[in-house]
Structure 1
Amino acid sequence: MELMYQILFIQMAAATGAVAQSIEAAAFVIGVAGEQLNLPCLFIHDAAKLHIVQATWLKHVGRVDENIAVYNPLFGTSYPTVSGRVRFHNATSSNCKLTIDPLELEDEGAYSCEFNVFPSGKFESQTRLTVLARPVSTVSAMPTETGLAQALVANCTAANGKPPANVTWIAPFLGKVTSSRRENPDGTVTVFSQYRMVPSREANGQNLTCMVSHNALVHPLSLPVTLSVRYPPEVRITGYDGNWYAKRQKVSLRCLAEANPPARSYHWTMSGGSVPKHARIAGDHLIIDQVDYSINGTWTCEATNDLGKGKGEIVIEVREPDSPHGGKFFTSTIVLIVTGTVIGVLIIMVFLAIVLVKKRRQIEDCASKAKLSSRKRSQITVFATLNLNVLDGANSSKRDDRETEATVNADVNVN
């Protein structure tokens, strides 16, 4: 991958009395170790008046200038000190762009691009090359346990960066960051960052993110890590719906244990005695094929992992077999309410009938005032019968042999 070089300004070099001749080159170039880099060098001149004898790239090492690449229009190219990684890129008499691939940290320094021209002499430009080293970044979680005041939960390392990387954290909870660095012999720096916090059960499984920023990175590097906080089991029991009645089939309880590491064993016990024989234990499940009164009481499940034990309890109350919703009292109450309601309606009907009879009698009296001696006695009888059959809540497919009958007689006499 070819590195984009940064040109801070263009340097112009000209010989005395030859203002039409110049070299265009980058004064400052920044590259990344391990990638490809181009050093531009273009000689602008009048080819009809000047003849290029030779073009040379030199590196200034202390007070010594090393020839690293030479171009001669007659004899071709040569690389006296650095071979394999350095080459001219489409060299011509005026264009001597130099390619370094891959770039190494030792390549950093000052370079000169020179053109020997007949008859004008030598033209020269200088370029300062800065080599960056992209850090190798890693993050890791440090297992810890609850109960500690503060503990190391994650490490983030940005190794062999030049210049040193900047390391920060993104966390969903409060913590403390500590950082340190190490200078390496090759001029790079390794940055160590640690995240500390009070470990809690809620933090287990949460993501913590290490952010690494560096001049050689286009965007900050995001490194997420999942925390591991170890804690003993926290237990609760599920499966009881409050409607376990005698002879109910196939019910079960489950022991739910939240733990890190996961619970490896479960132990079921019952208050006031041993577990009934018809209650089967299958790991975290307690299975009861048929409910009876022997399972009344408090059930306890104890879960165990490498850090300790945790307990959960639940109280089981077995109801009457014919009434999973409250027993015989519930059914009897319903019967009384329904019966009373119907009888009340019938009484109202009788009252209305009496009122209608009296009204009718008044009309008849007005029509027969001439026959006062022949009064007649009117009688209206209202007979109502209520048959109420109540089904047993536990045996809804069978009718009760008893029926509730409400009979109302109304005898109205009008004189």
Structure 2
Amino acid sequence: MAFPSAPSALWSVSLLTVLFAAAVHTTVVYDDDPLQPVTSDETVSVGGTVTLTCRVAESDNSSLQWSNTAQQTLYFGEKRALRDNRIQLHRSTSTELSITIGDVQLSDEGEYTCSIFTMPVRTARATVTVLGVPGKPQISGFESPVPEGGKVTLTCTSTGSKPPARLRWYREDQELEGRPDIVEGVVDDPTYNVSKELTLEVSRSDDNALITCAVDHPSLAPGDKRSEQTLRVLYSPNVLIVPESNLPREGEKFHLQCLGNGNPEPANYMWEKKDGELPPLAKPDGAFLRFDMLNKSDNGVYLCHADNGIGNSQGEYTLLVQDPTAMSTSSGVDHAVIGGVVAVIVFILLCLLIVLGRYLIRHKGTYLTHEAKGSDDAPDADTAIINAEGGHSGAEDKKEYFI
């Protein structure tokens, strides 16, 4: 223990602390004693900062003092007694002494004492609990893809926790039931190593599934520390045959494609025609079966076998070759719609022509009727003709004068 240079009074106080230490346990504490110090227990994680507060209800000008687990004086009033820069004064008044300890280590755990030097000396204790923060979990046991139906055992391990951490397994967001945690103490260290196993019987639905190991501990927020492992599962292919067109026509080129969904992807394909040989113009080309020119004799059921080394599966497709003039149902529907639209337009045009014709005929009759006005009152035929052709004024205008 090393002390900085301090006045002799400070040394005297430290000596008094030692002399009265034996009397601490015999001190009578009264609940209504205004000079009795009051403290509280604290919990902190390794590397964190803890604040220790000591208060009294009233002050008689006696100084408060904080001591560590080894009964070394940390602060006496506003004066620091122990050379440790992690320990700082937080607040000092006549009724309160608060200090902080930063970068807390496991060795800082224990019982701290607050004393007030009255007669008799009054004390209070505060227990500091230091949590060992567990390390990030590590997953082992998965080195290579697992065949469908096989089993895989994963082990999750986390070190340095205090108290012992709990480990949890998840598949995506669903928690899985693993074996009980295995807790092992560490020699010359108050922390623990924890491991947990998980055994899975895998299916093809587990391919690319995300398996997570998460640490549950008071020093951590949920999900703070976790590790993930992606499973790879080997399984035989599912086979599907896809045609180039849904309306294969006689005389056209055409092909079928064999899709094999497996892990790994199929490397070998074999084509055959059910109940017969492949047509002469049908040429296998890996995952494709190509027809240079379709013929109705090509009709039948075609099989594709796909092999990926894990298993062999087959798919089938029934080929029905259509006449060259065959129209697809969708084309027929399109033509019917277009014909209906054209018929409606023609009908509207005919209606417009009829209305326009009636309008023109009606207005032409009105014009002829106005032309005849004035001829009814004429005294003779010549005058009536003149009036019908434009009236008297017009006739006067058309007179010719000869000299």
Q: What are the ranges of 5 or more consecutive residues in structure 2 without an aligned counterpart?
A: 1-26, 328-403
Q: CA distance change for structure 1 residues 276 and 196 in 2, over 3 Å: closer, same or farther?
A: farther
Q: How do 1:192-271 and structure 2 match up within 5 A? A: 192-210=195-213, 212-217=215-220, 219=222, 225=228, 227-240=230-243, 243-249=247-253, 251-260=254-263, 262-263=264-265, 265-270=267-272
**Secondary structure, in 3 states, of the residue corresponding to 2:107?**
helix
Q: CA distance change for structure 1 residues 95 and 169 in 2, over 3 Å: closer, same or farther?
A: same
Mapped contact 2:170–2:213 kept (Cα < 8 A): yes
Q: Which has the higher helix share?
A: 2
Letter in 2 for 1:71: F
Aligned partner (choices 306, 309, 312) of residue 310 of structure 1? 312
Kindly tell me the number of residue pairs found equivalent between the two proteins.
292
Q: How do 1:328-347 and structure 2 match up within 5 A? A: none
Mapped contact 2:152–2:199 kept (Cα < 8 A): yes
Letter in 1 for 2:130: V
Aligned partner (choices 57, 61, 66) of residue 51 of structure 1? 61
Question: Shift of the alpha carbon at 1:219?
Answer: 4.5
Q: CA distance change for structure 1 residues 277 and 179 in 2, over 3 Å: closer, same or farther?
A: farther
Tell me which residue corresponds to 2:101: 100
Tell me which residue corresponds to 1:132: 131
Mapped contact 1:59–1:66 kept (Cα < 8 A): yes
Mapped contact 1:40–1:98 kept (Cα < 8 A): yes
Mapped contact 1:135–1:162 kept (Cα < 8 A): yes
Q: Which has the higher strand share?
A: 1
Distance in 2 (CA, whole Å) between partners of 1:231 and 1:173 is 24
**Secondary structure, in 3 states, of the residue corresponding to 1:216?**
coil
CA RMSD of aligned residues (A): 4.0
Distance in 1 (CA, whole Å) between partners of 2:246 and 2:195 is 57
Mapped contact 2:204–2:235 kept (Cα < 8 A): no
Mapped contact 2:241–2:315 kept (Cα < 8 A): no
Tell me which residue corresponds to 2:53: 40
Mapped contact 2:110–2:127 kept (Cα < 8 A): yes
Q: What are the ranges of 5 or more consecutive residues in structure 1 without an aligned counterpart?
A: 1-12, 326-415
Alignment of 1:31 with 2:37, yes or no, is no
What's the TM-score once normalised by structure 2's chain length? 0.59
Distance in 1 (CA, whole Å) between partners of 2:127 and 2:55 is 16
Cα deviation per residue 1:334-372 (whole Å; 9 max; x = unaligned)?
Answer: xxxxxxxxxxxxxxxxxxxxxxxxxxxxxxxxxxxxxxx
Cα deviation per residue 1:201-250 (whole Å; 9 max; x = unaligned)?
Answer: 1222344454543333454769585652422431312323775342234x
Tell me which residue corresponds to 2:398: none
Distance in 1 (CA, whole Å) between partners of 2:136 and 2:216 is 10
Mapped contact 1:200–1:229 kept (Cα < 8 A): no
Mapped contact 1:164–1:188 kept (Cα < 8 A): yes
Distance in 2 (CA, whole Å) between partners of 1:160 and 1:276 is 73
Distance in 1 (CA, whole Å) between partners of 2:36 and 2:101 is 24
Q: How do 1:105-120 and structure 2 match up within 5 A? A: 105-116=106-117, 120=119
Tell me which residue corresponds to 2:185: 183
Distance in 1 (CA, whole Å) between partners of 2:115 and 2:293 is 100
Tell me which residue corresponds to 1:156: 156
**Secondary structure, in 3 states, of the residue corresponding to 2:179?**
strand
What's the TM-score once normalised by structure 1's chain length? 0.57
